[in-house]
Amino acid sequence: MTEKFVEWLRDACKGYEVKPYAIYHKVPHEGASWPLVANDADELAALLQKRGHFSALPKESAALANVLEVSIVGYLLDKLKDLPGAVGTRGGERAYPDLEVSGDAFGGGIFAVDVKVARRATNGKQTHSRISLYTGNTFFKYPKMKWPGTFRPFGDYTAHISLLVIYTLDTNSLSRVTDLEVIVQESWKVASKQRSSTTREYLGAVLDLKALREGRGEFSTRDEFYKYWRAYGFKVGRAVANQLAKLTAEQAA
């Protein structure tokens, strides 16, 4: 069931191209005339840029990642609409997952697809920084509870899939993105034993791109992965502790 879905997702992503091209400005340079006539998309883009309608997408990693995430999830939702027996639902901002997929097309399972966008390191062999797979002290640690910002408890999913969007930053390009690569793996298969942040409670993926492509993380089995990270001593702040107490009380009622 999971293998069938992962293979469909990989195949679907082969056709993805970066759709966001630039930020559009409605008002052109002074003196620009209308109507604007172009024979194809490339000519139209060139004319719009010449007239001052475009500025580049943000090059800051988090901002650019949000743009690419919205784009690829929209692309996959369109693909799912054309697939009989498949249902796709987009997640919210700062929510898990970015895309939920279910339906008879994949054997009736429910799959969580989380999009992770990462820039290549200058050596071309690693991600620039470690990808964050999960927040370790909330829905991941307590998989039977429905946390705010989730569709359902973590443990209700058939599988958790990481859709990794890897790019090279091109500061001279309007879209900022070149050499796009999409990697699809079960999340545990690309996990490391390292946190992805020293200040936030995130568990991280391996850095090596070849290992990401091959699903060769630092854990041999799914059970080993969950045992290690659910026992990890993540900090629990007051807000998380209060939410946990509330969910525990609701579950006991």
pLDDT tens-digit readout, 154-188: 999 999 999 999 999 999 999 999 999 999 999 99
Domain encompassing residue 35: 22-56
Residue 246 belongs to a domain: no
CB 63 within 8 A of CB 180: no
pLDDT of residue 19: 86
Which residues on neighbouring strands pair with residue 114, listed in sequence order? Answer: 162
Residue 250 belongs to a domain: no
pLDDT per 10-residue tile (average), the chain, 253 residues: 96 94 88 90 93 94 95 97 96 93 94 98 96 97 96 97 97 95 98 96 98 98 98 95 94 82
pLDDT of residue 149: 94
Regarding whether 114 and 138 lie in a shared domain, the answer is yes
Regarding whether 30 and 79 lie in a shared domain, the answer is no
pLDDT of residue 152: 96
Regarding whether 102 and 43 lie in a shared domain, the answer is no
Number of domains composing the chain: 2
pLDDT of residue 94: 83
Domain of 88, CATH number, reads: 3.40.600.10
Q: What is the largest CA-CA distance in the chain?
A: 69
Buried b (16+ CB within 10 A) or exposed e, 126-138: bbbebbbbbbbbb
pLDDT of residue 121: 97
Which residues on neighbouring strands pair with residue 169, listed in sequence order? Answer: 177
Residues 6+ apart with CB under 8 A from 24: 48, 53, 54
